[in-house]
Amino acid sequence: MTSDGGARRPEVPSFRSPNYLPAHREPDSLADVLERVLDKGIVIAGDIQIRLLDIELLTIKIRLLVASVDRAREMGINWWEEDEFITPLEDEVDKDQLGDLSRRLEALEGRVSESPDVESTHEGARRRER
Amino acid sequence: MDEAVVHAYGVVAENEPLAEFPPGIADTSVWIFGTEGLGAIVSLLPVKGFGVLDWEQNAANVSWLGRVARRHHEVLQYASVNAAVVPMRLPSLYGSLDSLAKTLHTARDRLERDLRRIRGKLEWAVKVYRIAKEDRSAASAGSTSGSEYLTARSRDLSARSAVREQLREQVREIHDALGEASVEYVRNQPQDAALSGRSEQMLLNGAYLVSRVDEARFLELADKIADSSLAKGFLVEVSGPWPAYNFTGDAEATATEAVR
């Protein structure tokens, strides 16, 4: 983000120039445009029905596609269904560390009868936010 | 044009001074079709290429849909800075102007309510990204025994979860502060990094309905928040003004208490 505050103030829109938009502070990304035109706005069903379900499917499809263009499918395809607003946080827990943890746990469980409550430690932080 | 289908971009009050629309989808000319005091922003799309099947077939074609979406948006963008416009969701097809008129007639109350809701206001988007990396140093890394490891590990995890709680709180504060400077505000699902095109993690994807007379104040506040957020490891990005996409139809938003 730049901090050239003065240059980014909205201006009186000019209707004639091709730049009829008031100063946009950041360019519209395609993602922002798609998110809005496919997902927001009013739906008034007329005689040509592209059914609501289809529009929903279309939205999901497009999100999937946009998601898979840049980065691969391995990122998990259900991110838009997640309600948490900090979605990837829990996934950041290092896989190696977790593997390491479970190996150590197994070893420990072999030696002591009562196993520590580890499960709830690394699963417990998962919570929903809305 | 042979066979054509009517595409509606949005709805305004009839007789708004909108004369110079940018080209519509597929370079079609855009005009206002007035009926019963409402004006639908429309263009005629060739059935060949824009029939129902074409939409369905191209639902996952990002370059086709991207082109169409941009044109739809550009038309609404032009309209929204010059008039109150209720955006219609893409695609919005009608077999004829007559059928569109009938449809508008049935939805008249909703449309008029929405027009009142957004008149004199536009939408601003504020995204917050997290630029500071989480502290990954772990006390557990130096453990020598299993039990020592588990204790340290559990401490690491709860410290991390405290950091997350703090992050959530800070982002909520930003959202609410911006909400105070707007008429209504809503929090959307953060975009995935692949969708946003940013490597930083998006923490907030907020939309704010702001009175045009309050824009300077809103942007000043956003700038202030952006400046003070950098030190906390947040990057704040503002875009707009947008047509009020998030504040029409059945969209749920939080109304700010102090509505002017």
Q: Which amino acid is at B22?
A: P
Enumerate the residues of chain A whose CB falls inside 8 A of the CB of residue B82. Answer: 13, 15
Kindly provide the ipTM of the predicted complex, given to two decimals: 0.86
**Are B257 and A38 within 8 A, CB to CB?**
no
Can you state the percent helix, strand and coil of chain B, rounding each to 5? 45, 25, 30
What's the half-sphere exposure (Cβ side, CA atoms, 13 Å) at B204?
A: 30
pLDDT tens sequence across B79-120: 999 999 999 988 899 999 999 999 999 999 999 999 999 999
What pLDDT, on a 0 to 100 scale, did the predictor assign at position B15? 85
Question: Chain B: nearest CA to A96, how far in angstroms?
Answer: 12
Please indicate if any CB of chain B lies within 8 Å of the CB of A14: no
Enumerate the residues of chain A whose CB falls inside 8 A of the CB of residue B215. Answer: 10
Q: Which residue has the higher pLDDT, B211 or A88?
A: B211
Mutate one of B124, B167, B192 to test the A interface: name it (highest A CB count within 10 A): B192
**Contacts of B90 by beta carbon, 8 Å cutoff, 6+ apart:** A37, A38, A41, B68, B69, B72
Residues B57 and B65: their CA atoms lie apart, in Å, by 10
Query: Long-range contacts: A77-83, Cβ < 8 Å, 24+?
Result: A79/B192, A80/B189, A80/B192, A82/B189, A83/A128, A83/A129, A83/A130, A83/B189
Sign of CA dihedral A54, A41, B76, A82: negative
**Contacts of B72 by beta carbon, 8 Å cutoff, 6+ apart:** A37, B9, B24, B25, B90
The single-letter DSSP state of residue A77 is T
What pLDDT, on a 0 to 100 scale, did the predictor assign at position B141? 72
Is the Cβ pair A85, B171 closer than 8 Å?
yes
Mean pLDDT value of segment B58-81: 88
Is the Cβ pair A125, B20 closer than 8 Å?
no
Is the Cβ pair A20, B20 closer than 8 Å?
yes
Give the length of chain B.
260
Question: Nearest CB to A40: which of B191, B216, B245?
Answer: B245
DSSP string for residues in B42-54: EEEEEHHHHSHHH
Enumerate the residues of chain A whose CB falls inside 8 A of the CB of residue B160. Answer: 125
Q: Which of residues 88-127 of A touch B (CB under 8 A)?
A: 88-89, 92, 94, 97, 101, 104-105, 107-108, 111, 116, 118, 121-122, 124-125
What pLDDT, on a 0 to 100 scale, did the predictor assign at position B100? 96
DSSP string for residues in B103-117: HHHHTHHHHHHHHHH
Q: List alpha helices for B181-207, DSSP H.
A: 193-196
Mean pLDDT value of segment A59-71: 49
Enumerate the residues of chain B whose CB falls inside 8 A of the CB of residue A82. Answer: 189
Render the burial of B84-119: b for 16+ CB within 10 Å, e for the rest.
bbbbbbbbbbbeeeeebbebbeebeebbeebbebbe
- Asked if the model's pLDDT at residue B56 lies above 60, the reply is yes
SS3 B94: strand
Is the Cβ pair A46, B95 closer than 8 Å?
yes
Across the strands, what pairs with B88?
A42
Is the Cβ pair A125, B164 closer than 8 Å?
yes
- Asked if the model's pLDDT at residue B201 lies above 60, the reply is yes
Chain B CA closest to residue A27: B239
* Lowest-pLDDT range of A94-103, B6-15, B18-27, B38-47: A94-103
Is the Cβ pair A41, B245 closer than 8 Å?
yes
SS3 A20: coil
Residues A84 and B111: their CA atoms lie apart, in Å, by 32
Enumerate the residues of chain B whose CB falls inside 8 A of the CB of residue A64. Answer: 60
**pLDDT band for position B247 (cuts 50, 70, 90):** very high
Q: How far is CA B77 from CA A35, B18, B41, B57, B96, in A?
A: 15, 12, 12, 27, 25
Q: Which amino acid is at A21?
A: L
Domain map (residue ranges) of chain A: 27-81, 90-123
Structure tokens belonging to residue B223: 């700038």
Q: Hey, what domains does chain B have and what are their CATH numbers? A: 4-118 (no CATH), 121-255 (3.30.70)
Is the Cβ pair B238, A13 closer than 8 Å?
no
Mean pLDDT value of segment B215-225: 95
Question: Chain B: nearest CA to A18, how far in angstroms?
Answer: 8
Across the strands, what pairs with B122?
B210
Sign of CA dihedral B85, B91, B97, B102: negative
Q: Nearest 5 degrees, angle CA B75-CA B40-CA B106?
A: 140
**pLDDT band for position A121 (cuts 50, 70, 90):** very low
Is the Cβ pair A1, B237 closer than 8 Å?
yes
